[in-house]
Structure 1
Amino acid sequence: MTCACCAPSRDVRPPDADLVPAVTPLASLGMSERPVFVRGGKTHVGTNSPMLAQDGEGPERAIVLADYSLEALTVTNARFADFVAATGYVTEAERFGWSAVFFNTPERLDAARRAGAGLSWWHRVEGATWNMPEGPGSDIEARMDHPVVQVSWADANAFATWVGGRLPNEAEWEHAARGGAHRQRFPWGDAEPTDETVFCNIWQGNFPTYNSEADGFLRTAPAMSFAPNALGLYNMAGNVWEWTRDPYRIRSNSRRAKARNEQALLHQEKVLKGGSFLCHISYCYRYRIAARMALSPDSATSNTGFRIAYDGHQN
């Protein structure tokens, strides 16, 4: 297990799993869950004012997008449970037998530091899966409307295939988060969240030892929480990182960037967007629209989920 910024990556692959084909109609979704139409056209991805240049946030690049749709919510535990029940799908975390879980109790932090852990708040937990996100003894009964977590890139793609959709690419995700071809730092505009001013589910307090929970949540929040952006999309900042379909690359000719790209290619890393409930400006200022993170596609953590995109307009 190697460590990325906000989540650890795996280093190995589990056995393959078979997927039983099935499709759930969009009509089964509630109005608040249905895909939001996003007009394409000339837009941009990235920023000319990167806060974490080493992540490849810049430079801004002009692009042209086709029209597409993006679900207003990240995929919830309830929907993923329906998928598993209908197909018998077994997630990669289940096949590995363990996954990464965030713990910040003093006892666990001290034990991890003594063991020489790179990020002492991440722990390998045997039996941690999408329906037991913190390991055996935990469950999702009171979190069915929360985003599903402990899902890998392959798991997200399997669900997307089942509903007839796909993962968005990075440019589509950014364009939708901004509400169009605008330049703004966050989905709600440029106002900076603080430990007292809450716009989304991120960390408030001293990371990783104290979270005041000013936003009301220690871990994930319901997928429909806080005010949506201009297009009606919820939680495009914070809550959970969201897988995209794109490979992680840094557009730079520097020696450091080339070395990072070689590592990303070796591990087949993918881009994630949006930040998570663990982000804080003092540690991981990655809940900005242009921010990004990389994980190996077989990684699954307690702060990683996804949402579904579709080509064109979905009725």
Structure 2
Amino acid sequence: MQYALLIIFWMYLFPHAAVIAQMPAGTDTVFIQVPAGKYQVGKKGHRLNPLRTVQVNAYAIAATEVTNEQFARFVAATGYITDAERLHNALVFEPGLPEFRWKEDSTACWRYPNGVSRGDLTGKLQHPVTTISFTDVQAYCRWAGMRLPTPDEWEIAARAGSNTNYFWGREMGRIGEFANVWHGHDHLEADSSDKYMYTSPIGSYRSNPWGIYDIYGNVFEFCDGHLGVETIAHARGGSWWCSAHSCSYFNSLDIGRVHIHASFSNQGFRVVKNL
């Protein structure tokens, strides 16, 4: 494939990150370079993510989440079959379920993110891929020659030089400018007040100051490593399902946990390249 290269070096409010990679015609990814150095992550008193200073090597993180179209290329090239397609254990959401309740749908997989009865990927090729497991994501990364961010790398990129819960400050009031989240008080009725009940196309909202989109909301993003248990993976950044009243993980701090073979329709990922 011929890629049209677009090299842009820039600083935006915080003097750390620069766009370094190509934006090919179609759906390929722009990467944001994060320099090596020491960064503050976590928060004082946070059980899973205490305040600390970490040293990281330089890396480049995708400005957007991996899309259905990009994942489809991987499947077409490899014939890969996802956990949800093998195990028929995907969990999906429909309005009316009590808080924190999901519905098992044996027909759901990345091709039918919320089950066959709720539609396929028509018109959604530029939405983030979902209903995939941590194991599936690792397979994609091996094929693509990339990797997942570590939790610290993800947080450094999400913070974009800030030291508050959100890259714009301490309060969540501006979340609707930057993220696809659930605005209803509960999940008993559908919420499409921001035009999307489920996922939105990548880059539909404003980026953070380093040019990274959907870092909060849209889909939870897998990170590399395990929280002390080999079968449990990290997930960060919140999703379209998260609201101020339920699982308000759309911030720079909180860390979700999910089984490595579980597939949810609000779970996706973005990739990282070593420099």
Tell me the SS of whatever aligns to 2:178: coil
Give the corresponding residue for 2:132: 151
Give the Cα–Cα distance (whole angstroms) in 2 for the partners of residues 129 and 200 of structure 1.
24
Matched, 1:303 2:266: yes
124, 134, 151: which is aligned to 2:114? Answer: 134
Cα 1:128–1:36, aligned 2, differ >3 Å: closer, same or farther?
same
Q: Normalising by structure 1, report the TM-score.
A: 0.75
Tell me the SS of whatever aligns to 2:105: strand
Tell me the SS of whatever aligns to 1:98: coil
- Unaligned residue ranges in structure 2 (runs of 5+): 4-20
Task: Determine which structure has more spread, i.e. the larger CA radius of gyration.
Answer: 1
Cα offsets for 1:109-165 (capped at 9, x unmatched): 3xxx7xxxx943x11101111001121242011110000001111111111111111
Equivalent position amino acid for 1:145 in 2:
Q
Q: Normalising by structure 2, report the TM-score.
A: 0.85
Give the Cα–Cα distance (whole angstroms) in 1 for the partners of residues 151 and 28 of structure 2.
23
Equivalent position amino acid for 1:225 in 2:
S
Matched, 1:285 2:248: yes
195, 208, 211: which is aligned to 1:232? Answer: 211
- Identity over aligned residues, as a percent? 31
Confirm or deny: 8 A CA contact 1:203 1:211 kept in the other structure: no
152, 160, 172: which is aligned to 2:153? Answer: 172
Compare the two structures and name the one with the higher helix fraction.
1
Give the Cα–Cα distance (whole angstroms) in 2 for the partners of residues 96 and 247 of structure 1.
22
Give the Cα–Cα distance (whole angstroms) in 2 for the partners of residues 96 and 212 of structure 1.
30
Task: Give the aligned CA root-mean-square deviation in angstroms.
Answer: 2.4
Q: What displacement does 1:98 show?
A: 3.3
Confirm or deny: 8 A CA contact 2:151 2:224 kept in the other structure: yes
Give the Cα–Cα distance (whole angstroms) in 1 for the partners of residues 140 and 206 of structure 2.
26
Matched, 1:160 2:141: yes
Tell me the SS of whatever aligns to 2:213: coil
Give the Cα–Cα distance (whole angstroms) in 1 for the partners of residues 2 and 271 of structure 2.
13
- Unaligned residue ranges in structure 1 (runs of 5+): 1-22, 250-264
Q: Which runs of at least 4 in structure 1 moved beyond 3 Å after TM superposition?
A: 23-32, 187-191
Matched, 1:76 2:67: yes
Give the Cα–Cα distance (whole angstroms) in 1 for the partners of residues 100 and 242 of structure 2.
14
Confirm or deny: 8 A CA contact 2:83 2:136 kept in the other structure: yes
Give the corresponding residue for 1:65: 56
Tell me the SS of whatever aligns to 1:156: helix
Tell me the SS of whatever aligns to 2:116: coil
Give the corresponding residue for 1:268: 231
